[in-house]
Structure 1
Amino acid sequence: MSSLIIRHARLVPVHAGDVVPHEPVDVLVTDGTVTAVGESLERPDGLREVQADGRWVIPGLWDQHVHLAQWTLSSGRLDLGGARSPEAALAMVAERVAEYPDLPVIGWGHRSAGWDRDVTVHELDAVTGETPVVLISGDGHHAWLNTVALLFLAMPVRDSVVREAEWFAAYPRLASLVGNDGTSPEAYRRTLDHAASMGVAGLVDFEFSGGAAEWAERWVEGCDVLRVRMATYAEGLDPVLAHGLRSGDPLRLDLLGAGPVDPRLTMGPLKIISDGSLNTRTAWCCEPYGDAHRLEYPSGQPNLSGAELRDLLRTAHAAGLEVATHAIGDAAVAEALASYAETGARGSIEHAQMVNRADVREMARLGIRASVQPAHLLDDRDLTERIWGERSERCFAFRWMLEDGVRLAMGSDAPVSPLDPWLAMAAAVHRSGDEREAWHGEHALTPQEVLSASVDDQPTVRAGSRGDLVLLDADPLPHGSAEEQARQLRDMQVAGTWVAGREVFTTLD
């Protein structure tokens, strides 16, 4: 915990109805907490002073949904985001194999739902030879592997992609194929430093592999940059229960008895992936997909039975853990909410991509958060129209959520979308990533609403709030059309970020 005083900063009203001074003020942070806000505050002896020069100050931003190891690794992966066909992807892989024949190829980002046919392992084998190749889809819910990679990762040989639970279970074994260089403490530190440069003060890590022991180890090796809530999956739940960890508990850095703790590194929720994804056509829907004739499961499918889901929620709730339930299709959202209602568990619906209005109201009644990733609508717009049709009016229904009293918490789902809070906010404000008009603009939000959903429930900077502060070169509540507001949000420049009063990024002298 650190202390400082920021001089001459403009307060930004985070919530509707907040009133802030017209003139810049000083902000005093003492031992990690804001202790005073006002004009010409007295500077305690020896305290660091920062000149804001009229810049705007907001609470630290949060990304409420990150797969941090995958995002850290993505910089070294073959980018397949531009592959518009299997043939294009195969050509890119062949080029990489020819350039580095002795290195495994890990690809990321292809959107096969937009391709006109399914892919095969056989055709990937034909261009890769003995080089292991793993191509991870842009939604992270399936991977296209060649036979060498399937054998190396101890999976049955087949001629189709690896989907959902089987892929999630195999993902941690990638380290045996490519090593851990991409997820070393140094690599994590670079990722965290970059997040700080965008004003991010905290994140919720939903990585599939690792656990509290790994986070404690990297924390003491220099990754103590931002606030981190570490989630667990069912596979890692037993050690969490054995250590008596509850959501919000600081992690002991030796994970034993009386070791030190850091309140910035805490236990997060139990993560449950209850259905699949849009791109993989495994999101569980109330009605069949528009191209259901191609699918084994015309309406998608749940990953767990209702009984299995409820058992996990009961276990987590009894242990003091919140639950973050991934639910993309409307049927999955309804089942998750019914499970929360029956078990009394608390937490969030992650994604809530397609919803019925009645389920939004039930979410509000139960006090369940909607943890949403607005940048996904930029990528999913065209596919949604094609395979969900008129149901698109119920997708990314942020306006319904706010009108009905659901608490929004925004994130990225990095690496599915970039770890960039300004991109997420811009997407929710304009709902378009190109020259087209807003996609279902009736669900667009205002800059203040997206800011409020991005600060982890923190108030407008005031005495008693966290010493997690961000200085901005421009007003984050811009005026103009939604398109103009979104452009200004995407172009936002951060001048400084502090976490618990500690400087983690600055462009200031």
Structure 2
Amino acid sequence: MTTGVPDAPRLLRRVRFPGQGQLFDVALADGRVTEVRAHTPGSAAGGASAEGPCADMAGRVLIRGLRDAHAHLVQWAVLRRRLDISGAGSARETVRAVQEGAAALPPGELLTGYGFRDGLWPDAPHKRLLDALPDGRPVLLISADLHTAWLNSAALALLGEGGHPTGVLREDASLRATARLSGVPVPTLDGWVRDACEAAARRGVTGVIDFECADNVTDWERRAVSGTPPLRVAAAVYPEHLDAALARGLRTGTPLGPPGSLLETGPLKLFTDGSLNTRTALCHDPYPGFGAGDPEAYGLAQTVGEELVAALRRAADHGFVPAVHAIGDRANQLALDAFEQAGCADRIGGAGRVGCAGRIGCAGRIEHGQLVRAEDFGRFAELGITVGVQPTHAVDDRDVADQHWPGRTARAFAYADLLAAGARLEFGSDAPVAPLDPWRGIANAVARTDDDRPAWHPEQRLTVAQALTASTGGRFAVRAGDPADLAVLDADPLTSDDATLRRLPVHGTLLAGAWSHREN
């Protein structure tokens, strides 16, 4: 159980570091690690010390706090209260799950379900299937990758789109429909977001880049007034909100909210394509099943070419680190081409510690990087691009990748090849696409499977140390001078088996030197 007092110890006694047996004492002050020294046997194991209040960790393992480099916190907070339909293997199975879920709701209330994956279904989603439900309530079902919404006629009527032929909306239309139908009173929603942040802290998370499709700066400044969340949050900015951010003089890394809120402006989010499950990820090769000359056979191009170059230059010139969504191999090539033409590394200079973890000359980020040409692996390092990846997607999407990217999956979710080429990886969950639990992502990067099947493309497996590094902002070892964002673990991840790693017990989490979570 989490303690209710966020006290700030000045000394963590008797900690171990991953893979080591020696005990250390770690001194903390003013939100930072001030000293790491060998533990002196026989010294007192609790109470106070010369440094002030201390906490005896009894040989537990200490690492830097974990960081989710790609999440959608509002959608994750809401998902925790939605009907889970992820287990359905067809459209008709989904309808049965919805019918069972509807029985627990008041008559007429919107039913929102989440998690369907229709890429491998033997039948297609259609509004008439949901219209057959007996109570006639509005139904909104959201795909696992967030790029598709499936609605019945009652829900379409609420949007003024009762004449839609199928009830299946994709990409921007899906996002707009979800936003309009999922309205929750702001105080309630902010409470749900805080609950989700507290749950993340219980898993050792100390920081998140929030890519919610919203006015994140405004939303997080409002939340900070009612209480600082137990995480560092970097609030991503979308193009429609960029002018307002620039008018305020914001840039990536600018502090937000009242002093001590640990909020800051995040990167600028841009899109080049869609997703794998909706077959809108932009690829060099056509998706199976499309007719010759079909313009959708290769996926969907969004912001590319000169438009993307201009957007990157504008962002970098104003101190914003660009974060470019790119999933297909064509999208990743076009994103890298645009970064090269825009010269972002020289334009940004030292800006953007959140987007690039403090690296001078970092050009920006590519989010997802799921399918990459072999000749493009080395370009990420050459151009100074961080790749924000989500290892749970590799195991969740292995079957749909095999079907829709045949003959190319050796370079899909290719984390080992990216690292070997010098790329910097940062792990995220893409919550709610996957749960906001870094240990699941770490285990999936190491195992490349989460069921009884053998590892999918085992040549792309990472070591635990590599996965931990990608989950802790580039280094998991604790050093003097670090922010005191720390996780205290009840097991050593470097020596844990797969089952333990997936559910690794977290004894406590420190944010800026104060407990954001601690087990009694």
Do both share a fold (TM > 0.5)?
Answer: yes
Structure 1 residue runs without a partner (length 5+):
14-19, 254-259
User: Aligned partners of 1:274 and 1:75: how far apart in 2?
Assistant: 29
Note the 1:85-234 alignment, pairs <5 A: 85-100=90-105, 101-127=107-133, 130-155=136-161, 157-160=163-166, 161-176=168-183, 178-180=184-186, 183-184=189-190, 186-234=191-239
> 1:182-219, CA deviations, whole angstroms, 9 ceiling, x for partnerless residues?
623x2222111111111001111011123212101112
Question: Within 5 Å, which residues of 2 pair with 1:477-492?
Answer: 477-478=494-495, 484=497, 486-492=498-504
Secondary structure in structure 2 of the residue aligned to 1:93: helix
Deviations 1:44-89 (A, max 9, x none): 6572211111111000000101000011001211111011111111
Q: Residue type matched to 1:436 in 2?
A: R
**How much does 1:99 deviate?**
4.1
Q: Which residues of 2 match residues 448-467 of structure 1 at below 5 A?
A: 448-458=465-475, 460-467=477-484
CA contact (8 A) 1:469 1:498 kept: yes
What SS is found at the alignment partner of 1:325? strand
Aligned residue number for residue 376 of structure 1 = 393
- Residue 36 of structure 2 aligns with which residue? 37
Letter of the structure 2 residue corresponding to residue 335 of structure 1:
L
1:89-488 maps to which residues of 2 (within 5 A)?
Answer: 89-100=94-105, 101-127=107-133, 130-155=136-161, 157-160=163-166, 161-176=168-183, 178-180=184-186, 183-184=189-190, 186-251=191-256, 253=257, 260-262=258-260, 264-293=262-291, 297-345=296-344, 346-458=363-475, 460-478=477-495, 484=497, 486-488=498-500
Q: TM-score, normalised to structure 1's length?
A: 0.91
Distance 1:444 1:469, change over 3 A: same
Does the 8 Å CA contact 2:252/2:320 hold for their aligned counterparts?
Answer: yes
Letter in 2 for 1:266: E
- The secondary structure found in structure 2 opposite 1:503 is strand
The gaps in structure 2 that reach 5 residues or longer are 1-6, 345-362
8 Å CA contact retained: 2:281, 2:327 = yes
Distance in 2, Cα, partners of 1:40 & 1:297: 63
Give the stretch that moved more between structures: 208-217 or 279-288. 208-217
State the partner residue of 1:257: none
Letter of the 1:28 counterpart: A
Measured in 1, the distance between the counterparts of 2:133 and 2:278 equals: 24
Q: State the TM-score, normalized to the length of structure 2.
A: 0.89
Instruction: Spell out, residue by residue over 1:274-303, the C-alpha distance to the aligned partner (whole angstroms, 9 max, x if none).
Output: 211111110011101123349761111212
Does the 8 Å CA contact 1:286/1:330 hold for their aligned counterparts?
yes
Provide the rounded CA distance (Å) in 1 between the counterparts of 2:266 and 2:53.
Answer: 33
- Deviation, structure 1 residue 155: 4.7
Structure 1 residue 175: Cα displacement:
4.0
304-313 vs 64-73, greater mean Cα deviation:
304-313
State the identity %. Answer: 40
Closer, same or farther: CA 155–26 of 1 in aligned 2, 3 Å: farther
Paired residue for 1:17? Answer: none
Task: Provide the C-alpha distance between the structure 2 equivalents of 1:53 and 1:414, rounded to a whole number of angstroms.
Answer: 34
Q: How many positions carry a matched residue from both structures?
A: 487
Counterpart amino acid of residue 491 in structure 1: R
- Aligned partner of residue 397 in structure 2, secondary structure: helix
The answer on whether the counterparts of 1:459 and 1:465 sit within 8 Å (CA) in structure 2 is: no
Q: What secondary structure does 2:407 align onto?
A: helix
The answer for the alignment partner of 2:70 in structure 1 is 65
In the TM superposition, residue 385 of structure 1 has moved relative to its aligned partner by 1.0
* Cα 1:305–1:347 shift into 2, 3 Å: closer
Q: Displacement of 1:310 after TM fit?
A: 2.0
> Would the aligned equivalents of 1:76 and 1:182 in 2 still touch at CA under 8 Å?
no
Q: Secondary structure of the equivalent of 2:266?
A: strand
Question: Contact (CA 8 Å) 2:9, 2:55: kept in 1 or not?
Answer: no
